[in-house]
Amino acid sequence: MLIVRSFLFQVAFYAIMAVIIAVTLPFYFFLPHRAAIGVVKLWTGASMWALRVVAGTRIEIRGLERLPHGAALIAPKHQSAFETMALFPLLDDPTFVMKRQLMMIPMFGWYTWKAGMIAVDRAGGSKALRKLAADSREAAAAGRQIILFPEGTRRPVGAPPDYKFGIIHLYRELKVPVVPIALNAGLYWPRRSFLRYPGTIIVEVLEPIPPGLDSKTFLARLIAAIEPATDRLVTEALASPNPPPVPAATAGHGA
């Protein structure tokens, strides 16, 4: 049953994407910014609905009142593709910092450009960092919420944290609050797997970190906020009546 429901979710996921693109593509060049954001929110919201209905994976959001309406950096734990979609409908005018290669995907990539996502060239060195800062300043000046995964790429549940310089760089440049987010999505939507386990993914919005701290203090506060909260949510999920399987990394770190 798990394999069947996971497969059906994949079918629903791509079907939703295809229908939304087919309906909106004729109007692509005429879509204003807010309409393009609305299309992305529709797609991500519908995908999360399919996750609940087809795969049996529910979503619980804690601390929703801490999400900002104005300019801010949103710093979620990154365990799976789930958080690239689930956070988008919760924010007023979000933009993702994402790999430039993803924005080259036909049709999907077009909408990321239209919605004003921020492209980053991971191999671009200092030049890429300068462009990232410039694009992010422009987004912050427009009052947008900039979503940046502090670890850059998906990490297995229970793996040691590996925070990158990018989050420190933007914190120093933008001088806006940073909102840490903990979650346990990797248990139910494992990376590099098409399986979607039933249960409840918990997303917890944590207390914002104010601007103005030195880099070392900021990073320490960010890690101290996200990592223990994530461990707690993983432990909570594994103690539930119908827990997902324990990943090897989690078992090895005693979560």
* Of 217, 186, 216, nearest in space to 201 by CA: 186
Using pLDDT thresholds of 50, 70 and 90, give the confidence band for residue 253: very low
First vs last Cα of the chain: how many Å apart? 28
In a domain, 138, yes or no: yes
| 3-class DSSP state of 192 | coil
| Token code pair at residue 137 | 């300043």
CA distance 236 to 185: 12
Domain that holds residue 131: 59-253
In a domain, 232, yes or no: yes
In a domain, 120, yes or no: yes
Instruction: Answer yes or no: is pLDDT of 251 > 70.
Output: no
In a domain, 16, yes or no: no
In a domain, 223, yes or no: yes
Amino acid at 144: R
Q: Where are the alpha helices (DSSP H) in 25-59?
A: 33-55
Burial (Cβ within 10 Å: 0-12, 13-18, ≥19) of residue 106 = exposed
The mean pLDDT value of the chain amounts to 91
Amino acid at 115: A
Lowest mean pLDDT among 111-120, 180-189, 224-233: 111-120
For helices 215-238 and 165-174, give the axis angle rounded to 10 degrees.
120
C-alpha 189: how far from chain center: 13
Tell me the pLDDT tens digit for each residue of 3-12.
999 999 999 9
Lowest mean pLDDT among 25-29, 78-82, 200-204: 25-29
In a domain, 7, yes or no: no
Q: How many CB atoms neighbour CB 29 within 10 A?
A: 7
Which of the given ranges, 26-30, 59-63, 118-122, 246-250, has the highest pLDDT on average? Answer: 59-63
- To which H or E segment does residue 20 belong? helix 2-24
Instruction: Answer yes or no: is pLDDT of 109 > 70.
Output: yes
Tell me the pLDDT tens digit for each residue of 137-179.
999 999 999 999 999 889 999 999 999 999 999 999 999 999 9
- Work out the average pLDDT over 38-57: 95
Q: What is the number of domains present in the chain?
A: 1
146: alpha, beta or left? (left if phi > 0; alpha if psi -120 to 50): beta
| 3-class DSSP state of 116 | coil
Tell me the pLDDT tens digit for each residue of 75-101.
999 999 999 899 999 999 999 998 777
Amino acid at 95: T
CA distance 139 to 93: 10
* Of 186, 195, 204, nearest in space to 248 by CA: 186
In a domain, 153, yes or no: yes
Cα-only R_g, the chain: 18
- The reported pTM is 0.91
In a domain, 168, yes or no: yes
In contact, 157 and 255? CB cutoff 8 Å: yes
Instruction: List C-alpha distances in Å: 128 to 100, 114, 154.
Output: 11, 21, 21
Tell me the pLDDT tens digit for each residue of 122-140.
666 778 788 889 999 999 9
Lowest mean pLDDT among 4-18, 155-169, 208-222, 235-249: 235-249
